[in-house]
Every structure is written in structure tokens, then in C-alpha cells.
Structure 1
């Protein structure tokens, strides 16, 4: 009799579980952050759009031949400074050379580890090769942190998902 009660109890529990719309499939959702507004100086924001307490700033730029490949003509040479980045292991932002209409002519993701100055400041010299450097009107930073993309639901249904940064900036993007 006790065995019969246990069987009925187990069957009832399974029925309640099935009827309550619970399933054994993992609920996995991907969300992508919206791209923030590009400027010469930005507050870096996480995938939720919240400021991380870090600024990234283009502190100067010019067109000149790269010293290792001077025959290629002018490249965009800029200095990028991260303030407040020493509190995190990694932060990365997209930096783009743009024309006067703010259309990206060339972009690159720059990690805070690449930016280190002689006095311990987080300023780095970065080079960007673009097809028409004569059209560059400004160098802009996009505020979204690109350092942690994470797995998507498509890649791993169980452990993937969550918030992801926007797609990296590319040539032709309106900034």
C-alpha cells in the first residue's frame, strides 16, 4: 500500500510539473547593447549601459607615415588615454577615424592593456591604417566596453546568453 501511495504521489508531482509550463529546456536569452554615441572623450559603459567609472579619451591625433612602413603613406596616429582603468583587469573600446559626416573610415578595438605611458599613465600610441587618410576629420571613441563578449545561446544553450556589447564598429558605420 505504501508503494502504491508513493507511485501516485510521484505521478501527481510530475503532472503538476508538466502542467505548470516548466520544462527541462534551459531558458537562454541573448541581448545586445545599443551602441553609445561616439565622442573624443567618453565614459566607458558596460553592456547594461551603466558607466564603469572609466573614461577613454583621444588626447591627440595626426596623419603621418608609420615608422615601420613609411612607404605606405599616411596612417592615423592617435594617443588614447584610459582614466580609472586600473581598477579593472580589462576594458576595451572601439576607436574610429571618421570623416566630417561622422562616417567611420577605419576602426580598431583598443584594450586598456595596450595603453601604458612612461609615467604609469594609461596612455598609448595607436596606429590605424585606412584607405583615404585625407578624409579624416576626427578620431572618435565609442563608449561600449568590448572586452567581454561571452558565449551566445547559439554557441552554448546552457551557459551562454546574457548581455553582449554591440557589434564592433566598421568602415561605413554612422557614428
Structure 2
């Protein structure tokens, strides 16, 4: 039998634990749904809002990577970010897709830091796939991947909230 004195103090102990961050009862994580992939996308934050920033695949081609010519053709693509309003720019996933819009290879591309706010930002990158001959396009996913909020598992006191969708992987339908 538990003494009444201990039972009377239990609510106080639970309140102290909750306030100190030792309880994850109020911490919840949610993963945002992946936006529709396209050649040009309006970048959206974790709440589905856009500040007008866009990302676009300007062109792409199959060509050997000069650093690894022995591997044969890979996908070299050029991109452009417009209307980025911060010095620390957004990031979006870029995916090489086949004629059914299935991802053959993906990676995250970042608007470089230090660009003047609002100025167009251009760059190029490589996508590597097992079968580059099956690639019919390169698409971008509009969800900003640059925000890395701590999860409830990592920080039950301050973590939680919305998180970007998991990056697209090979075989995902875009």
C-alpha cells in the first residue's frame, strides 16, 4: 500500500518533470507532405507558404563527368533560384526521372549563401543514376529542405513541430 503522503505529492512531481523538459507528452513531430515536382517550382516552407522564391531546371544533358569520364554519361543540369530573400538560401530536391516520372536519382541542391537578396542565383550540378539512358527529365520538389528542426527524440523539451518531407529516393513516383 502506498502512503497517502506520497500520493499527494505525485501531481507536484509530475508537474516539475513536465516543466523541466523531462516529459515528452506535449512534443509532437509531423512530416510535411511532399509537393508536386516540376521543372519550375515555387519554393514553400514547412507551413506550405511561399515568399515568392522559385527554383527552375534551366537545362540538362547526358555527358561524361570530367572528374570520372570512365563511368560514362551522367546527368549534368543547370538550375536557377529567383527571388530568394535571405543570405542563407533555400534548398530543394532535384531528381532525374524516367518517362513515367519515377525517380532514378535525387539530391538536394542549395541556393548558395552570400548572394544578394532577390538576385538570381545560377549553378549546375550532377545527378548519378544506374541507367542514365532512361532519364527523360530533371524535376525539382518545391519543399524547402534547408530547415533542420530538432525532433522530439533529439530534444523532447524544444524539439518537435513540422519537418520537411523525406527526400525522394529511387523509384518514388513524382
Answer yes or no: same fold by TM over 0.5: yes
Matches within 5 A, 1:80-91: 80-91=79-90
Which residue does 2:123 correspond to in 1? 124
Q: Secondary structure at the match of 1:134?
A: helix
Matches within 5 A, 1:134-145: 134-145=133-144
Q: Please, which runs of 5 or more residues in structure 2 have no aligned partner?
A: 1-7
Q: TM-score, length-normalised on structure 1?
A: 0.82
Which residue does 2:42 correspond to in 1? 43
- C-alpha separation between the residues in 2 aligned to 1:131 and 1:43? 29
Q: Secondary structure at the match of 1:71?
A: helix
Give the 4+ runs in structure 1 shifted more than 4 A.
Answer: none
Which residue does 2:72 correspond to in 1? 73
Whichever of the two has the greater Rg, that structure is: 1
Offset, 1:67? 1.1
- C-alpha separation between the residues in 2 aligned to 1:112 and 1:86? 11
- C-alpha separation between the residues in 2 aligned to 1:95 and 1:39? 10
Q: Secondary structure at the match of 1:85?
A: coil
Offset, 1:38? 0.1
Alignment length (residue pairs): 157
Which residue does 1:100 correspond to in 2? 99
- C-alpha separation between the residues in 2 aligned to 1:56 and 1:134? 25
Which residue does 2:33 correspond to in 1? 34
Q: Secondary structure at the match of 1:108?
A: strand
Which residue does 1:162 correspond to in 2? 161
Q: Please, which runs of 5 or more residues in structure 1 have no aligned partner?
A: 1-13
Which residue does 1:7 correspond to in 2? none
Q: TM-score, length-normalised on structure 2?
A: 0.82
- C-alpha separation between the residues in 2 aligned to 1:145 and 1:52? 11
- C-alpha separation between the residues in 2 aligned to 1:59 and 1:113? 17
- C-alpha separation between the residues in 1 aligned to 2:77 and 2:51? 23
Which residue does 1:11 correspond to in 2? none
Deviations 1:101-138 (A, max 9, x none): 00000000001018x8xxx7411011111110000011
